[in-house]
Amino acid sequence: MKKLTPKQEKFCQLYVELGNASDAYRGSYDVKPDTKPETIHNKGYELSNKVELKGRIEEIRANLKKANKIDKQWIIDQHQEIIDWYKELKQLAKQEDISDKDKKRVYMLKDLIKGSDFRGSLDSITKMLGLNEPEKVKQDIKIEIIEKKRD
């Protein structure tokens, strides 16, 4: 990878931190007070799309995820936990006789989980795994051409 200038490196760091190319540009380059916002926007956009900077931005993001031990699987696991709590509550609710221990569990779980959390987690997992894409259905369409005779 081509070595970046100190300003480009700072731009990449700020871009990941702020999530905005214009702000990252302002923080890493000498921007004059009278510089037009469109100019800053264009410069930031150009920089964020340069191949070598894009690569560095991805690298910083990957390192951050690694440092925080956050990846797709971790996020799915968190959602799965919410779903499991909800399922456990539902299961408890269906029991005819709820033991004293289970009653305590229900009361404890009620602080952790709401029905909307369950639905939200299902939605998130569905989107993350791309399960909400429309199913492709192959259809054979027969077109019948009826010739109409002229009288």
Q: Which of 70, 93, 112, 128 binds other proteins (CB under 8 A)?
A: 93
Rg (CA), the chain: 27
Is residue 87 near other proteins by the rule CB under 8 A?
no
Window of 6-14, 42-50, 90-98, 141-149 that interacts with other proteins by CB under 8 A: 90-98
Is residue 108 near other proteins by the rule CB under 8 A?
yes
Which x/- pattern, by CB under 8 A, does the window 109-148 give for other proteins? -x--xxxx--x-----------------------------
Is residue 72 near other proteins by the rule CB under 8 A?
no
Sequence-ordered list of residues with C-beta below 8 angstroms from that of 23, at least 6 positions apart, any chain: 14, 44
Question: Contact at 8 Å (CB) between 66 and 72?
Answer: no
Both tokens of 50, joined, read: 């340069």
Size of the site for other proteins (CB under 8 A): 22
Task: Name the residue with tokens 């964020």.
Answer: 48
Measured distance CA(110)–CA(122) in Å, rounded = 18
